[in-house]
Structure 1
């Protein structure tokens, strides 16, 4: 049996240092995703998305940096995490995989930053222990062997946490190091021999320093160094490092009338220091105004014979700056992102919560940014149109993925989790091939979401920590997009066009799209603003017309699904849910520590009324529910170590048929029905066992047991495998195992474990086989604690 990963989706960590785009070698972008590192090729024309996920760190990855090898054939990646460790990864030639070659744990706190220097073997790391460490990469000419040695530890005084580090070559004998962080000053260190010494302290910022970067002003060997510093005070400052006793010519940028009163108060004090061979000065060069909120990243690039600066900010914008050739004043030449005044709320209607990372592509003609929702945005420069245009990028959950469900026909996958979003993934089919993307974000919520299931192809139910379940219907805009791009049959026409969350509201309300000519103006002719239309409640028809997968801006604002029902009754957070095979019933359970709350409630999907009385048998939380393929039985398992089979009676009411209070030695976490003619089901538990049970007459017999290497947290059976039992289970360590059992020998299972490097890094929460795909290799989707959604193809 072969198991091949088809698609991976995972969101990026919100840390400005947690991503880097390789300027040499593979031109791959690596970013921290939970405690893993995801590798993506943004310029891949096939839009294959994430190509590899590297496991190793035991805590959140904060810093990712490629080491500048200067070679097309060698790739070295450095990563630092909250587990205090620095790890070295070596890229494999001609493939996107990496091998972990070294782990160093010298720091006593989470590593926050890594800085490298092109043309040098020296790099620096900063950590929350208030220490910056200087390292040397020891390697042979073609980087076949790689090691590190510690050169120096610099304890920052007065003590602060380094949030930004930059290295540059000062002259033939010396390097310069700039460090900033949880203070408003920047410290400049200069190396004499191999040891760095504090040489200057730059003042002027009024907030924490978030970004530092050095560059040569021009290609000339003797040109000055420029240092950019960006801060939470919303300003960017430029500093000039000049060689010689004489000070450089005073910058005319300070006289810029746009600075107003600020211009008079800006100090141009020279800070002098010396290397082993020369004397230097650092002077303030320019103040860049334009961002309205904290600035997270700032990085230089010599592009089109001009020096340009890329900055990203909490104000949802990404800016490219350059010096005006005539006046020398730095101006913002391009601004990308959400520039409109309509920011929306921070939940559904759209504020992206700022851009945390901004990176230049190796050729400088693309830029990418990462936002609060874990999604990347990408823009490419078109010389013919002289403008930057947005391109398709990747998205993913940023917290644990708790539940997933295929549509009834298997056309799309719905996922939901602790980042309070529900996402719809499907396959974009086009002439050049097909690729998986997020096409809709039906639910953006204020509570963590725990479970999801589809009622039919255009309706789903989700359960959250808010003690109730919500029902959503697919809007016309999403249906038409999926029909056009994914060849999914469109829903009936009498549906609302879209949905939005009203201001101060919690429920998605249906709205109709308007033509461009019909868009109402704000307020009426009398200037009475009380009648003003909420701009978020209007969607233009053109906004819902797509010829490519939607960008993050649309996902966060225009592709919600209207909510049609709420299901009440439970007293605590919803823990499990299942929809019957014919779509007529929803069974739900909530977290419980007593028999009164550990009940299973049933709702019919026509009137959405509860069918009383609730089903009582469990004494603790019910962890999984599933209806049998013919809806004759309902299976429930729980933390009280028992499984219960409920049988449908004459009037369509379910009643207790069989229960086993000692089904497993520890709590049971997963349950699944097989497709066999004789009712057969699987249970999976924390006792590291998957058990196969068969109902015969009035008795339930244990037919087989499969031992696992760790606590089993999820189990699923292929609903279309009639001749044998094909199943998959996942463990709390992230191991995924696929197996099959012959009908006549249920005690003899053949299993295959998925390779560790393509398995999740943390526990598996749910596994679902894709229905309706018997001819083209079976697929299964996996939801994990490591915030990833993965689709695997099972062959054989």
Structure 2
């Protein structure tokens, strides 16, 4: 079988050091995503999204940094993680996979916090929460075909603190300068003397932990003064000047700036003297930048249009660009991007994005990207003709384990759900003249509990189960249906009386339906006192729901919820599984359980949403998976008690009754099950005993037809709904992320042929669910896979006649 990756979606880690954009080399952006590293090209107009996901680290990736190679065909990436290790990756153009891990080393005894490189040299530095900074030399040949790493110095920080950031720069022809700061309010300056760094100065002034440091030359001339920007949790950015010679530089006018008012006392202009082998230098306070309202996470310099500009990102949901006023020399914020504080809501659902953690310049300097709390990237590009920064389409993804996935009944879109308490809808953006690209188009549910499972009731309704013991049913609003029709060509089958949109009331968990109003209409008060303000989240303007491109993160997080129509009660613990009958008339649900009374399966009809009693009793522990047979004649349930149960629909009523049970179906707990499309009822079970088993109902009994062994516990199994060339096609996923695609001839059910997905394409952690896309051609199938590594992956599967 021919298996290739069609699309990957994964959210970024919330760490200011966990992303970097390669200025040379392949010009890709790398970011930490759980324990993986994702590679993305933000400048790609075809919007292919994440190009590659690199696996290797065993814990969260905290720091990534590109090493300058001066070659357009090679990129060298350094990554550090909470597993105390540092990895060196080499990327080459036109090779698949593009990046490979060349070297791994673990000299630190704590999680890596930051990596800094010194452009133009082979030196790089790493900081870790063991309170040390280490210097390394990258030893390589001209085309980077051989690479080695050598430790040259270790600095133990005193007094001990975690180095949250490092900045390296060349001081002069013989020396380099290093700034280190972190979980203290001071900055330590080290200067290299004879290839060894020594502590030379300590800069004071900040009143909180220091989150960002960045060096730059004041002008493009190599002999100009060095500027150091430091940004802190005290909401201020300080600029420091490193000036060569025994004379102090001209006093900065910033100290006398009346705008700083009472802060003048803490702005000392004390000069710190440092020296290299060649010269003496003064380090003086240069300017204080005010404007952010919350912690500042990142600062990075760029020379743009002959001006020096500083980009900062903050917890206040904004990204600011600063430059020095040519007349007065005062630093001012020239651009502010992001969200206005007034739009913040009380929960993430009504608007608070939770700040921007990362901000990066593009290699050309005309785009900036930032990453926020929701794991989604935002991108702005400067248009010289309009003299403004315009937001562009970027990428999104889950930031915690992705637990459930389902396709709509017609296969036109898919919905995922996970432990980051969101449900996300993905589909293909179809444009004239460009290939279709996958994007997140709606975030139907933003919840207060971790979400575990999901299923489609029909093409415009789904049901989800969470840790809150109840299930919720959602209907597609008109705004989303119209957008999917316009951008994805999905025919809206919804009726006219649907609401336009939905919102979450403050302090609520249920999405309420709301109507859109015209841009010039007044918002009516419902006979309430004039003093009562209208909740801005309960009103949406029609223009807000008109899109000619996939929605930006701001819209996804606020305006594209689905209204909730039903809640299903009855279970006593967290919901573990949900299945919808093939005709859409029944929903079967189960919850976590350790007794026969709680391990019941409850059925609800989808017309009135009433429970069909009594519940089905057979299991003694959590039911892990439920599925109706293709003709709804049977319901299959499997559980942690190692048994599978077949329930048969009784002829008199729509009730299901116990037909077959096998208390020893597997030797360990059964984690997943699926029906095959055969007319003779045949099903598959998958368990912790590393086996997938194929069973068939015949002659009044159930017979084991085949057993497929896997390399690890099998956590997910799924069958394609149609036969391909007379074969049953199925997919399974394991606890360590492996995915296998199997084929079984209908004539010989005991002969199973399995193709494993390439390791570099498969997830890095447990596969939670696999679903086949309905309505595909026999030769070209697709599966969607969600995993504990937070990713959603879509694979193309070509089956040739054999």
Please classify the TM superposition score into its range, dividing by the shorter chain length.
over 0.9
Structure 1 match to 2:466:
464
CA distance in 2, matches of 1:181, 1:638: 48
**Native 8 Å contact 1:519 1:538 kept in 2:** no
Structure 2 match to 1:506:
509
State the Cα deviation string for residues 332-355 of structure 1 (Å, max 9, x = none): 000000024121123211211000
CA distance in 2, matches of 1:304, 1:520: 45
Q: How does 1:58-457 map to 2 (within 5 A)?
A: 58-95=58-95, 97-431=98-432, 432-457=434-459
**Native 8 Å contact 2:477 2:562 kept in 1:** yes
CA distance in 1, matches of 2:214, 2:266: 25
CA distance in 2, matches of 1:701, 1:633: 16
**Pairwise CA distance, 1:259:** 1.1
One of 715, 718, 726 as aligned partner of 2:717: 715
CA distance in 1, matches of 2:661, 2:711: 27
One of 511, 517, 520 as aligned partner of 2:520: 517
Which ranges of structure 2 fall in alignment gaps of 5 or more residues? none
CA distance in 1, matches of 2:121, 2:556: 43
**Native 8 Å contact 2:205 2:266 kept in 1:** no
Structure 1 match to 2:57:
57
**Pairwise CA distance, 1:94:** 2.8
CA distance in 2, matches of 1:594, 1:418: 25
CA distance in 2, matches of 1:255, 1:38: 46
State the Cα deviation string for residues 291-340 of structure 1 (Å, max 9, x = none): 00000000000011000000000000000000000000000000000024
State the Cα deviation string for residues 220-253 of structure 1 (Å, max 9, x = none): 2221000000000000000000111111000112
CA distance in 2, matches of 1:58, 1:522: 55
1:770 matched to 2:776? The reply is no
CA distance in 2, matches of 1:355, 1:774: 43
State the Cα deviation string for residues 73-118 of structure 1 (Å, max 9, x = none): 2210000000000000000233472110000100000000000111
One of 646, 661, 664 as aligned partner of 2:663: 661
**Pairwise CA distance, 1:494:** 1.6
CA distance in 1, matches of 2:665, 2:143: 58
**Native 8 Å contact 2:317 2:341 kept in 1:** no
CA distance in 2, matches of 1:522, 1:103: 64
**Native 8 Å contact 2:36 2:60 kept in 1:** yes
Change (3 A) 1:618 1:497: same
More divergent stretch after superposition (412-421 vs 696-705): 696-705
Structure 2 match to 1:41:
41
State the Cα deviation string for residues 670-702 of structure 1 (Å, max 9, x = none): 100000010000000000110000001320000
CA distance in 1, matches of 2:526, 2:745: 70
More divergent stretch after superposition (516-525 vs 183-192): 516-525
CA distance in 2, matches of 1:76, 1:732: 31
State the Cα deviation string for residues 478-497 of structure 1 (Å, max 9, x = none): 00000000000012222100
Structure 1 match to 2:25:
25
Number of aligned residue pairs: give it: 794
State the Cα deviation string for residues 30-76 of structure 1 (Å, max 9, x = none): 00000000000100110000000000000000000000112212210
CA distance in 1, matches of 2:236, 2:44: 35
**Pairwise CA distance, 1:525:** 12
3-state SS, counterpart of residue 582 of structure 1: coil
CA distance in 2, matches of 1:492, 1:414: 21
CA distance in 1, matches of 2:176, 2:368: 29
**Native 8 Å contact 1:523 1:533 kept in 2:** no
**Native 8 Å contact 2:348 2:354 kept in 1:** no
One of 674, 681, 687 as aligned partner of 2:689: 687
3-state SS, counterpart of residue 164 of structure 2: strand
Structure 2 match to 1:16:
16
Structure 2 match to 1:535:
536
State the Cα deviation string for residues 757-792 of structure 1 (Å, max 9, x = none): 010000100000000112671100001010000000
**Native 8 Å contact 1:761 1:786 kept in 2:** yes
Structure 2 match to 1:643:
644
3-state SS, counterpart of residue 162 of structure 1: coil
Change (3 A) 1:248 1:575: same
**Native 8 Å contact 1:764 1:782 kept in 2:** yes
One of 747, 766, 790 as aligned partner of 2:750: 747
CA distance in 2, matches of 1:64, 1:521: 51
Which ranges of structure 1 fall in alignment gaps of 5 or more residues? none
**Pairwise CA distance, 1:264:** 4.2
CA distance in 1, matches of 2:622, 2:528: 59
**Native 8 Å contact 2:343 2:351 kept in 1:** no
**Native 8 Å contact 1:676 1:724 kept in 2:** no
CA distance in 1, matches of 2:143, 2:522: 62
**Pairwise CA distance, 1:523:** 11
3-state SS, counterpart of residue 197 of structure 1: strand
3-state SS, counterpart of residue 520 of structure 2: helix
Normalised TM-score (structure 1):
0.99
**Native 8 Å contact 2:347 2:506 kept in 1:** no
3-state SS, counterpart of residue 185 of structure 2: strand
State the Cα deviation string for residues 144-173 of structure 1 (Å, max 9, x = none): 211110010100000000001000000111
3-state SS, counterpart of residue 543 of structure 1: helix
**Pairwise CA distance, 1:373:** 0.4
Change (3 A) 1:486 1:613: same
State the Cα deviation string for residues 707-729 of structure 1 (Å, max 9, x = none): 11111000000002273211000
CA distance in 2, matches of 1:59, 1:186: 29
**Pairwise CA distance, 1:521:** 8.3
Change (3 A) 1:523 1:379: farther
1:6 matched to 2:9? The reply is no
State the Cα deviation string for residues 114-152 of structure 1 (Å, max 9, x = none): 001110111100000000001111111222211110010
Structure 1 match to 2:675:
673
Structure 2 match to 1:599:
600
**Pairwise CA distance, 1:640:** 0.3
CA distance in 2, matches of 1:195, 1:748: 66
More divergent stretch after superposition (11-20 vs 64-73): 64-73
CA distance in 2, matches of 1:763, 1:278: 57
1:756 matched to 2:745? The reply is no
